[in-house]
Amino acid sequence: MRKEFSEAIEKLGAADEKLVFITGDLGYNALENVQKTLGPRFINAGVAEQNMVGMAAGLAYRGYKVFCYSIAPFIVYRCLEQFRNDVCLHNLPVFLVGNGGGYGYGIMGSSHHAIEDMAALSPLQNVKCWVPAFADEVELSIESMVREARPAYLRLGYGKNAPSFERESGSFRILRTYPDAQGTVVALGPVAQNVLTALEQSGQPWNVLTALTLPLQLTDEVATLLESAGHVLVAEEHVSIGGLAQQLSVQVLERGLSLKSFKSLRAEGYPGGLYGDQAYHQQRSHLDPDSIVQALTL
């Protein structure tokens, strides 16, 4: 998704002289086109994420729309206080962009993983988090972030282009539905591709939804869809606390929906204390296609 991101920023930056891009000394061989297009509006703040967000807040206060880019754990955890106090409480248009969300940086280990980022950011005042499941959702997300001009976080991963989808509803994209659906799978981010692979393998008629934004906006349409199918399976490369599963379950309870079952497949951290590539961590967390097939068995 990094390629789609840089192309979208280049396009928007060329059209809007109030758009500023700040990187925390990352993005080589990916952002040179953005640097060329934006010129002095492209700033390398160095390995100083807290200062980068403070500077972004000052620029936003003066009327600029500012993107702050790094890998996901660096842009989220290192500068959480600055983002909360300087940006969110003042409702400024500063947009954090984290590449390699979830286990995206694989063998580099826990210091380079972001499996609690939604829990850290989505409860903050005025924030909207964007988690594209597919590469062609990146430009849509960025355009919406700039248009809404409020604090935001964009979590990038590796994704193919989206399959055809039926419609959007609140936070959700409804990819497919069946009149005789056995249940509904709700996925967060690129792990949706593993869900689609699992459903192709199993041949079972499950509704498929992705959550594009958090905090979760559960519409009446989606609530009815969940209740009518009865069984719900959530898949996310994020811990369940503060993530999609917890946010969805709270709203299900508040609405008094009657479900037959609710399962959560989520990032399990580091069972056994070992590191591997992203596929390894997905398998250990039961987020690989084969594990999802098993979870679909009622």
Domains of the chain, first to last:
2-156 (3.40.50.970), 167-295 (3.40.50.920)
Query: Is residue 184 over pLDDT 80?
Result: yes
- Measured CA to CA, the distance from residue 181 to residue 224 in angstroms comes to 13
Query: Is residue 29 over pLDDT 90?
Result: no
Q: What is the mean pLDDT of residues 177-196?
A: 96
Q: Which regions of 14-142 does DSSP assign to beta strands (E)?
A: 19-23, 42-44, 65-71, 94-99, 128-130
Q: What pLDDT, on the 0 to 100 scale, is given for residue 1?
A: 84
Tokens of 87: 């940006």
Compare 191 and 163 and report the one with higher pLDDT.
Answer: 191
Compare 58 and 136 and report the one with higher pLDDT.
Answer: 58
Residue 203 class from Cβ within 10 Å (0-12 exposed, 13-18 middle, 19+ buried)?
A: exposed
Closest among 95, 83, 77, 90 to 16, alpha carbons compared: 95
Query: Is residue 162 over pLDDT 80?
Result: no
Give me the residue label for tokens 């069984």.
231
Query: Is residue 298 over pLDDT 80?
Result: no
Q: What is the mean pLDDT of residues 164-169?
A: 85
pLDDT-derived band at 161, boundaries 50, 70, 90: confident
- Measured CA to CA, the distance from residue 110 to residue 113 in angstroms comes to 5
pTM, full prediction: 0.95
> Which SS3 state, helix, strand or coil, does residue 270 take?
coil
pLDDT-derived band at 166, boundaries 50, 70, 90: confident
**Is residue 146 within 8 Å of residue 138, measured between CB atoms?**
no
- Measured CA to CA, the distance from residue 168 to residue 98 in angstroms comes to 24
Q: What pLDDT, on the 0 to 100 scale, is given for residue 119?
A: 97
CB burial of 87-97 (b: ≥16 within 10 Å; e: otherwise) equals bbeeebbbbbb
Q: What is the mean pLDDT of residues 192-199?
A: 96
Give me the residue label for tokens 């399990």.
268
pLDDT digits (tens, 9 = 90+) for 265-297: 999 999 989 999 999 999 999 999 999 999 998
Closest among 94, 56, 101, 55 to 77, alpha carbons compared: 101
Tokens of 183: 């249940």
User: What average pLDDT does the structure give for the chain?
Assistant: 95
